[in-house]
Structure 1
Amino acid sequence: MVEVSTPLKWLLRLVAVGYVFFLVAWPVSLIVKVTFADGLTTLVDTLSDPYVQNALKLTAYVAFWAVVINTIFGVGISLLLVRYEFPGKRALSAMIDVPLSVSPVVVGLSLLLVYNGRTGWFGPTLESWGYQIIFAAPGMIMATCFVALPLVIREVVPVLTEIGDDQEQAARSLGSNARQTFLRITLPSIKWAVVYGVVLSLARSLGEFGAVKIVSGNFTGETQTATLVVEQKYQNFEQGAAYATSFVLAFVSVLCIVVVSLLRPKESAQ
């Protein structure tokens, strides 16, 4: 281990803190400052707007189902990657990181080309069966699922790798079936990784903009999420409402992360 002098340590800490402050803390604090510049008036007036209320409800609905879907499949894929060997395993692991490298706008356009009700590959057939994907909640959920896909998996995989499968093998040797082994052995061991992955997925889902804008159509009062309301309000020179809506989204995301960090046992956080 390389010894670092005390002045250099403080300099590195100052650089790190300054970087985070100017990149994250300061801009977010300005949103809070503008939102409450005239007390609670701006926030209350914004939350009283029926279009904002509808957008927040739709955002919560889309984020909820995206998190549920990503949690179920995320835990399943994590078990598949860690506990089993199969052809294409490395390719699957690499594909999981694609949402982190591909622009959300490209994702939205891809879904539009596949599920468009007029020219898409599957859209006309699905709409003939009564299922509308694009410009409706299903398409928005799919887009949000895509952009938040890696978050649960990348939290759970390292924990599964670290704990190994000794206890699971012991449980199976004593007669436990796969369901009992998962619920009594595996899930308790990875529960905090799952919870933290869910929180990160929720925060990412609440703030998704590009992909959702493409597949939703951004119809006011119908398929407009909170992030799209922020854009519309800002472009219409209703900056107070834009900042207030942004504050609500940021507050929910930060609150979730803070609560989980406080509740998470220290030994689990290491």
Structure 2
Amino acid sequence: MALPPKKTTETHQEKLQRRKDAEEAAMMREVDEAVRQGDLENFGERYGKPLAALVLLLVLALAAYLLWWQPSQRAAAEARSETLVSALDNVEAGNLQTAYDALEELAGDGSDAAAANAQMLRGGIAAQQGRTEDAVAIFDGLANDTAAPEELRNLALIRKVATGFDTMDKAAVVAALQPLAVPGEPFFGSAGELVAMAYLEQGKRSEAGALFAAIAKAEDVPESLRSRSRQMAGVLGVDAIEDVDALLEAQGVGQDPAADGQGAPAAPPAAQPAP
């Protein structure tokens, strides 16, 4: 059986040392708290007023945003939309110059979507009025505005090339639109057709035919453009028809008349012999 451990008897000197250590630890805590309290008071005296002013400024800024800036921005956006709608109404009514002039301020007011749309509309009006150079300049400005939405910039580039196609160098047309004339790109159909036409004028019939065929086979391209491209590819000797039966069915060609319940036309009666 194991014997219980002997209790260590603490000497008088050790007791005094332990008590001294405890008193020193308590005193250090009191000093530390006093220092902290003093630092806090000094910080408050030095920075209290600036901090209070900063908090007040933040509160006032938030109030100004909620009560003035946000409603002001909303009202400005509504006014821009009304300007665009009014211009479209004037275009439909044939008041082209009125619409063109009304959009001038909005078109020059920054590079947001409303301003970009105003520039696009002004370019279209100028083109419709026969002012080709003005239209090309407007579309070119929007196409090169890096702050404008990318979709509108690309559309402006296509409109610029389409408007000035007759006078543009065809190599420049290909260079400008080739990045957009790729299957899967949003403007593949429109850009691809312009590039293919430029190829034709350069004498590159095989490149033009292949691009027309690709447009004809693209399901996300409008049917009118696909049909036109299919015809151009055929003229250039490129087969752009993947499913002949489906194409004929879509065009309503080769249907059986009996399927409509009309049947074949009756044969003419046999001639009667003369008496």
**Is the shorter-chain TM-score for this pair beyond 0.5, marking a shared fold?**
no
Greater relative contact order (Cα < 8 A, sep 6+)? 1
Normalised TM-score (structure 2): 0.21
Q: If each structure's helix is expressed as a fraction of its own residues, which one has the higher value? A: 1
**Higher Rg of the two aligned structures:** 2
